[in-house]
Structure 1
Amino acid sequence: MLTVDPVTTLSRPALVVTADLVEATVPAPESLRPWLTELGRIPTIRDPAGSFAHVPQAATTIVLRRQESAPRAAFVIGPQTRARYYQPDKPAACLRLRLAPGAVRPLLGVPASALTDRVVRLTDLPGIAAGLAGELNELDADEIFAFLKDQLPQRISEDATRRAQRDILRSAVAALSARPDGRSMTALARELAVSERQLRNLFTAGIGVSPKHFARIGRVRRILSQVRAGTPVGGGEHEPPDATSLAQLAADNGYFDQSHMTADFRTLMGVPPRSFLRGAVPTPSPCRPLDRI
């Protein structure tokens, strides 16, 4: 059962509420793992205390929006290389189906790179998932996995080459995700018995970002998770972290030094860590318009 109480989810006062912070997730069943990793639910949040942020995400997501007094709709959010800050004009809840590495083309009919930093209607895409949009919009969260277990295996057809490429990509993603200090692309390619060029091409088509950018996004997301989980950040409850704690976060996550971490964080989040943690972020905008394919 997917349920979440956004008040109890917030482990510490937060001036910037992130989508990840209020999302309840369940992993996809084993039979769906080739194509999906998890299903998340973001409840309707009324009057957030500050900005609502979507942090960078190196995955493609099918979003089923449940907005009050409006028809349900299905969108696809591609990999997001920069944080975006919003002030929603209308309360809305949503379900998020996160696609597995290499599953974008089989499900959506385009390479992941065609969706990077874009938001499009699911029905505008040529893949098989577009034909399921109507049914998905009508289902409750607890019904979605059962529906997809019945539908996807009979609709997706992959040859041995495509499955082998997907397996390589999943292994590369697991290796990069497990090492906060990063991995040498040369060593990783050798370990996976592919060339560096082939590895980069697999990431571009199957993930939508390069291996290097995938690792950068992973490290910044890890820092945010550590702070939310209660990793000491120095100062008082509402104060920014001190230099010692930032230096420790940098060391724990494989950065050369604190300035390296700060530069990476600023590039992806739009502001340095101190500013983000005290709520000093870019001016939020209304929900972004849809892109066209």
Structure 2
Amino acid sequence: MPEALRPWITGVRTSPRAGPAEDAFVRLPDASTKVVLRVTADGHRDVLALGPRVRASYHDGNATASCVELRLAPGAARPLLGVPVADLVGRAVPLDALPGSAARRLASGLRWLDTDEVVPYLSETLPELLPATAESSRTALLLAGVEALSVRGDRAPAQVRDVAHELAVSERQLRNLFTDGVGVSPKHYTRIDRVRTVLTRASTAPWSEVAAGTGYYDQSHMTSDFRALMGVPPRSYFTGRLPATTPCRAGARG
């Protein structure tokens, strides 16, 4: 991904069209907001805004759409989409149905692009649509908060009160900043990030070490958070004892 896009987009992922499959798949909890260009098997195209997901969902494996998924940077979603990100939690909304003029223009520009045309188009268009996002003090505060509340390597996330103190804002101000720019509270952001880290580390260390390394008080605290967000405790998830699946609707696999 070009360096010029990093103030607005933290990742680009493509998924090829697939026919009916027997395996189920999971959409993981995800605190990010995405823009998705989706092309169905019959050629229908749409561009969606996918809000944060606060809990996992399980689906049967019958997706028949190819997608290009753009993961928006913290602070970029609000000026692009024209609504507080909290309004999009758990939702998939047509991008051109949102009030932001930038969203409508982006939807129009992305809709008919081939996969390899998406990144060059964004490199040319996003700096014009959102020229001030990377420089705003509000965005800088949000990015600093996200960094401090995320698991990074061997560093566990900081406590919300400590992050607020370090950024010289009240906990209420920090919560409002996250609700508007990320869509979830700082506490829930940390829960999502921790559980996603557990998912990546579970096969590399004992449960007690995974819990300590991701900032949980103990293993039972980790299990409680994991169950709340994933629907099953860690051992059940990793041995394939999953909740019942539901049909997959709009959006891309999580």
TM-score with structure 2 setting the length = 0.89
Corresponding residue number in structure 2 for 1:177: 150
The 5 A counterparts of 1:77-226 are 77-127=50-100, 128-156=102-130, 158=132, 163-178=136-151, 181-226=156-201
Task: Count matched residues.
Answer: 248
Query: Does the Cα contact within 8 Å between 2:74 and 2:181 map onto a contact in 1?
Result: yes
Distance 2:209 2:32 in 1: 28
Deviation at 1:216, TM superposition (A): 0.6
What is the aligned-residue RMSD (CA, Å)? 2.1
CA positional deviation for 1:99: 0.6
Distance 1:260 1:48, change over 3 A: farther
Q: CA offset at residue 129 of structure 1? A: 2.2
Change (3 A) 1:122 1:88: farther
Quick one: distance in 1 between partners of 2:156 and 2:87? 29
Q: 2:84 corresponds to which letter in structure 1?
A: P
Same amino acid, percent of matched pairs: 47
For 1:135, the aligned partner's letter is G
CA distance in 2, matches of 1:137, 1:207: 25
| Mapped contact 1:50–1:279 kept (Cα < 8 A) | no
Q: Quick one: distance in 1 between partners of 2:228 and 2:117?
A: 39
The 1-side partners of 2:35 and 2:98 are apart by 12
Structure 1 residue 125 displacement after superposition: 0.7
Structure 2 counterpart of 1:70, from 43, 46, 65: 43
1:51-106 Cα shifts (integer Å, max 9, x gaps): 21110000101111122123121111101000011114442221110111011121
1:178 is displaced (CA, Å) by 3.8
Where does the alignment leave 5 or more consecutive residues of structure 1 unmatched? 1-27, 233-244
**Cα gap change, 1:85 to 1:132, in 2 (>3 Å):** same
Structure 2 residue identity aligned to 1:98: R
2:242 matched to 1:281? yes
Q: Aligned in 2, Cα 1:49/1:231: closer, same or farther, shift over 3 Å?
A: farther
SS in 2 for 1:201: helix
Alpha-carbon deviation of 1:222?
0.6
Amino acid at match of 1:216: R
Taking the aligned partners of 2:214 and 2:159, their CA distance within structure 1 comes to: 16
Distance in 1 (CA, whole Å) between partners of 2:144 and 2:108 is 33
Deviation at 1:49?
Answer: 4.9
The TM-score with structure 1 as length reference comes to 0.78
